[in-house]
Amino acid sequence: MYNGYYEGKTVLVTGVAGFKGTWLTISLLKAGAKAVIGLDKDRRSKSNFIMSGLDQVTTFVQGDTRDSALMLKLLTDYQVEVVFHLAAQPIVKIAYQNPLETIESNIMGTAVVLEAIRHAPSVERCVVATSDKAYGDKGGALYVEEDRLHGEDIYSVSKSAADLITQAWITNYYKGAGIHGGIVRCGNIIGGGDWSAGRIVVDCVAAFYDGRSPDIHNPHMVRDYFYVLDAVSGYLTLGAALDQDRISGGAFNFGPREHDIGNDDLATRLCTLWGQNITWQHTPPVEPFPEIPKQTLSWEKAESVLNWSPVYTLDETLQDTMEWYRGWREEDLDELNMRLLDRYDDRAAELGLDWAR
Cα-based distances in Å from 350 to 218, 241, 313, 346, 355: 38, 21, 15, 6, 12
| pLDDT for residue 276 | 86
Q: Is residue 65 part of a domain?
A: yes
Catalytic residue among 135, 143, 155, 325: 155
CA distances from 267 to 85, 229, 272, 322 (A): 30, 21, 9, 13
Quickly list H helices, 170-227: 175-177, 200-210
Residue 207 lies in a domain: no
| Terminal Cα-to-Cα distance of the chain (whole angstroms) | 5
Of 201, 166, 173, 170, residue with least CA distance to 86: 166
| Counted domains in the chain | 1
For 12, other C-beta atoms within 10 Å of its C-beta total 28
**Is 155 part of the annotated catalytic residue set?**
yes
Q: Which pLDDT belongs to residue 245?
A: 83
Predicted TM-score of the model (pTM): 0.97
At residue 159, the 3 state secondary structure works out as helix
CATH of the domain at 168: 3.40.50.720
346 domain residue, yes or no? yes
The answer to the question of residue 174 being in a domain is yes
- Is 279 part of any domain? no
Domain hosting residue 148, numbered range: 2-187+227-256+294-312+333-356
Query: Mean pLDDT by 10-residue block, N- to C-terminus, for the chain (357 residues)?
Result: 97 97 98 98 90 97 98 98 96 92 97 98 98 93 96 95 97 96 97 95 96 95 96 98 92 96 97 93 86 94 96 98 96 97 97 92
Three-state SS sequence of 278-290: CCCEECCCCCCCC
Query: DSSP state, 294?
Result: B
Q: Give the DSSP letter string of 13-38.
A: EETTTSHHHHHHHHHHHHTT-SEEEE
Q: Are strands 222-223 and 125-129 parallel, antiparallel or unpaired?
A: unpaired
Residue 276 lies in a domain: no
Look at residue 85 in the predicted model and tell me its pLDDT: 98
110-129 per-position pLDDT tens digit: 999 999 999 999 999 999 99
- Rounded (10°) CA dihedral 138, 295, 105, 216: 130
Question: What length is written for the chain?
Answer: 357
Contact between residue 235 and residue 198 where contact means Cβ atoms under 8 Å apart? no
Give residue 212's pLDDT.
Answer: 96
Spacing of C-alpha 257 from chain mean position: 17
Q: What are the start-end ranges of the E strands in the chain?
A: 10-14, 35-40, 59-62, 82-85, 125-129, 180-186, 188-190, 215-216, 222-223, 225-227, 251-254, 261-262, 281-282
For residue 357, what pLDDT is reported? 85
pLDDT at 43: 86
Q: Are 14 and 84 in contact (CB under 8 A)?
A: yes
Distance CA 230, CA 284 (A): 31
Nearest to 61 by CA among 52, 77, 250, 48: 77
The answer to the question of residue 68 being in a domain is yes
Q: Does residue 219 lie in a domain region?
A: no
